[in-house]
């Protein structure tokens, strides 16, 4: 097949047979099939797939025109191979999971999270296993939309800091950022996925000296042996050890008191491996560790915002994860962000987001044409849209989604003629079918300008269409949300006591009130400096910040010091 889908010579099924014999001899359990121009005409690829399925009925089959029918041979091949690698593992896992659920009497609906921020059925995910490879933090934007309902906002940045990693994602106008340039262990994954920046920054991140410079992570002490303060044999100084030395964490109330932290072990680890080599006292070394962590995480937020053309100061910061709220205020101040929301479910943020997520399936067809009335074949374009819509409807039919609960979103991958990378621009089916190219071109110019700082609008540069995309959404039932009744603002009765906490504004320790965060109610309000302790997370409220509780039980921090700044 050539790039136009024309057959140059028939497929040699004898060659396919020979390859099958070799694969059988090696006891291969998964086969990836990828022909160079299968995106234009899949007949040869499907003929090979049919023969492999007949000769190797137990093998997991990953076929590129079913996985990712688009141009770019390497990306399509890499994605198809990744799908083959993870396919058998996920298929067995799903079979075992469904069997166990049936044995336990589960009569609900099982949905599986995908990297694109939507859920799908076990049957669908078994066929496209690679769609789950980056699914871990993918529900964060959806959880963020739920958390921001009391504030009637749909543009924000979410961060999730746990024990080993820090994830940052962005939502603008209710739409999470999506990318098709993902990677798994440096192998390209071109399926649509949430654009999430992940760095090695968590409670277990290890401090180390690099030619006289203090570094934090990406190495992690993990859960075992864990930070030195866990008293499980760990000797390396970590972020959690620094937070304990600085007073942000309580040695007696970590995980609600179920885990006792060893302050002496934390001091020893920081003193011997950080403070002494740098010629600092232990407290200054711990604060240096805290600052480096904050700078690293702020840099990740800049990567997801500033480098995409957005000013983080214009967004709220939603902070999740068990460790995030200790750092949130100082990260926000580093970036000039004035408002932070710490959801009530911060420690299970992504899990709660999964319960709010709709079904989602992505479809793509490659179509190369200049974006102009004279060159774009509207009939061919309409046929491609029809094919994707029909495929999407078939999938949603299989998942029992009523037509009234379906929503299709179209987008196009565009570039200036001569460029290599495309820019994805959301459009409407009416614009595409009606040939309203000038409107689409204008959207592309705006998007390109935001991403790269320039547009070739005045030069009347040719805009090239590369791919058509369709996202099919199926609305699912959501858990009911309840707003808490408004309580009095006072919190004196919630004060647990006080402890010595490092205050960045003064550069020293100061006795700081500690409040019971699990008893905070809608309308409660307090001023920093303060510590708010919940069983699953601790919130540091620095001087200049206030904390108020919203109707969902989330804690909203406002930086009034930043507001007063010129």
Question: What pLDDT score was predicted for residue 479?
Answer: 86
Q: Residue 124: is it exposed, middle or buried by C-beta count within 10 angstroms (0-12/13-18/19+)?
A: middle
Q: Are strands 555-559 and 538-541 parallel, antiparallel or unpaired?
A: unpaired
Tokens of 246: 């600085």
Q: How many Å apart are CA 263 and CA 231, to the nearest integer?
A: 10
Bridge partners for 539 per DSSP: 532
Tell me whether the omega of the peptide bond preceding residue 225 falls within 30 degrees of 0, making it cis: yes
For the segment 14-25, what is each residue's pLDDT rounded down to a tens digit? 999 999 999 999
Question: What pLDDT score was predicted for residue 519?
Answer: 96
Question: What pLDDT score was predicted for residue 380?
Answer: 86
Which residues lie below 8 Å from residue 371, measured CB to CB, with a gap of 6+?
414, 437, 440, 441, 444, 462, 463, 464, 465
- Does residue 505 carry a pLDDT above 90? yes
In 350-380, which positions are buried (b, 16+ CB within 10 angstroms) versus exposed (e)? bebbbbbbbbbbbbbbbbeeebeeeebeeee
- Does residue 375 carry a pLDDT above 60? no
- Compute the average pLDDT of residues 387-398: 94
Question: What pLDDT score was predicted for residue 563?
Answer: 63
CA 420 to chain CA centroid, Å, is 26
- Compute the average pLDDT of residues 500-507: 96
Q: What is the DSSP string of 288-333?
A: HHHHHHHHHHHHHHHHHTGGGT--GGGSEEEEESTTHHHHHHHHHH
Question: What pLDDT score was predicted for residue 565?
Answer: 55
- Other beta carbons within 10 angstroms of residue 383's beta carbon come to 13
Name the helix (H) or strand (E) containing 364.
Answer: strand 359-370
- Does residue 235 carry a pLDDT above 50? yes
Phi-psi region at 51: left, alpha or beta (left = phi > 0; alpha = psi -120 to 50): alpha
Name the helix (H) or strand (E) containing 427.
Answer: strand 423-427
Which residues lie below 8 Å from residue 91, measured CB to CB, with a gap of 6+?
60, 126, 129
Question: What pLDDT score was predicted for residue 59?
Answer: 95
- Compute the average pLDDT of residues 249-268: 94
Q: Are strands 316-320 and 339-342 parallel, antiparallel or unpaired?
A: parallel
Question: What pLDDT score was predicted for residue 315?
Answer: 97
- Compute the average pLDDT of residues 412-424: 93
- Does residue 304 carry a pLDDT above 60? yes
How open is the CA angle 246-251-256, to the nearest 5 degrees? 120
Tell me whether the omega of the peptide bond preceding residue 218 falls within 30 degrees of 0, making it cis: yes
Question: What pLDDT score was predicted for residue 373?
Answer: 55
Q: How many Å apart are CA 273 and CA 256, to the nearest integer?
A: 29
Strand positions, DSSP E, 177-232: 178-179, 182-184, 187-189, 193-194, 196-199, 205-210, 213-220
- Does residue 449 carry a pLDDT above 80? yes
Question: What rounded mean pLDDT belongs to the chain?
Answer: 94
User: What secondary structure letter does DSSP report for 129?
Assistant: G
70 touches 366 (CB < 8 A) = yes
The SS3 assignment for 260 reads coil
- Compute the average pLDDT of residues 228-249: 97
30 touches 88 (CB < 8 A) = yes
Phi-psi region at 66: left, alpha or beta (left = phi > 0; alpha = psi -120 to 50): alpha
Q: How many Å apart are CA 127 and CA 91, to the nearest integer?
A: 8
- Does residue 47 carry a pLDDT above 90? yes
pLDDT band at 374 (very low <50, low <70, confident <90, very high): very low
- Does residue 564 carry a pLDDT above 60? no
Query: pTM here?
Result: 0.91
Q: How many Å apart are CA 471 and CA 353, to the nearest integer?
A: 19
């Amino acid at each position: 097949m050539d790039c136009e889908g024309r057959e140059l010579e028939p497929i040699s099924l004898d060659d396919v047979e020979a390859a099958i014999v070799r694969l059988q001899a090696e006891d291969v359990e998964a086969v990836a099939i990828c022909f160079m121009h299968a995106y234009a005409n899949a007949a040869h690829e499907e003929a090979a797939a049919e023969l492999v399925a007949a000769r190797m009925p137990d093998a997991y089959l990953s076929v590129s025109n079913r996985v990712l029918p688009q141009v770019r041979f390497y990306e399509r091949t890499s994605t198809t191979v990744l799908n083959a690698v993870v396919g058998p593992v996920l298929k067995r896992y799903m079979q075992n999971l469904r069997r166990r659920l049936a044995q336990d009497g589960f009569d609900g609906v099982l949905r599986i999270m995908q990297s694109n921020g939507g859920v799908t059925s076990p049957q669908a995910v078994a066929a496209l296993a690679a769609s789950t490879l980056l699914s871990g933090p993918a529900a964060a934007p959806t959880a963020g939309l739920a958390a921001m309902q009391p504030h009637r906002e749909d543009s924000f940045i979410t961060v999730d800091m746990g024990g080993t990693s820090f994830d940052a994602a962005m939502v603008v106008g209710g739409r999470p950022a999506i990318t098709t340039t993902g990677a798994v262990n440096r192998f390209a994954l071109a399926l649509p996925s949430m654009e999430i920046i992940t760095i090695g920054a968590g409670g277990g991140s290890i401090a180390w000296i690099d030619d006289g410079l203090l570094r934090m992570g990406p190495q992690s002490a993990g859960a075992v042996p864990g930070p030195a303060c866990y008293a499980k044999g760990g000797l390396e100084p970590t972020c959690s050890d620094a937070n304990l030395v600085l007073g942000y964490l309580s040695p007696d109330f970590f995980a609600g008191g179920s885990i006792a932290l060893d302050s002496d072990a934390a001091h020893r680890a920081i003193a011997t491996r950080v403070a002494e080599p740098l010629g600092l006292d232990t407290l200054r070394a711990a604060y240096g560790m805290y600052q480096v962590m904050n700078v690293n995480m702020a840099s990740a937020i800049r990567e997801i915002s500033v480098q995409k053309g957005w000013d983080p100061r214009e967004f709220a910061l939603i902070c999740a994860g068990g460790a995030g709220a200790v750092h949130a205020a100082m990260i926000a101040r580093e970036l000039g962000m004035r408002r932070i929301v710490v959801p009530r479910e911060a420690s299970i943020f992504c899990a709660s987001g999964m319960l709010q997520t709709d079904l989602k399936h992505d479809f793509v067809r490659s179509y190369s044409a200049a974006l102009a009335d004279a060159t774009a074949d509207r009939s061919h374009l309409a046929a491609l849209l029809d094919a994707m819509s029909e495929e999407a409807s078939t999938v949603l039919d299989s998942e029992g989604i009523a037509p009234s609960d379906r929503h299709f979103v179209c987008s196009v991958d565009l570039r200036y003629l001569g460029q290599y990378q495309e820019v994805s621009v959301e459009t409407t089916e009416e614009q595409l079918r009606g040939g309203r190219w000038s409107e689409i071109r204008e959207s592309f110019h705006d998007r390109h300008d935001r991403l790269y700082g320039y547009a070739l609008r005045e030069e009347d540069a040719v805009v090239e269409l590369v791919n058509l995309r369709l996202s099919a959404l199926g609305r699912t039932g959501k858990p009911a949300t309840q707003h808490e009744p408004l309580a009095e603002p006072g919190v004196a009765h919630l004060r647990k006591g006080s402890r010595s906490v490092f205050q960045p504004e003064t550069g020293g320790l100061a006795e700081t009130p500690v409040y019971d965060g699990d008893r905070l109610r809608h309308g409660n309000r307090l001023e920093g400096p303060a510590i708010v302790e919940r069983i699953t997370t601790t919130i540091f409220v620095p001087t200049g910040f206030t904390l108020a509780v919203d109707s969902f039980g989330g804690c909203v921090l406002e930086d009034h010091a930043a507001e007063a700044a010129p």
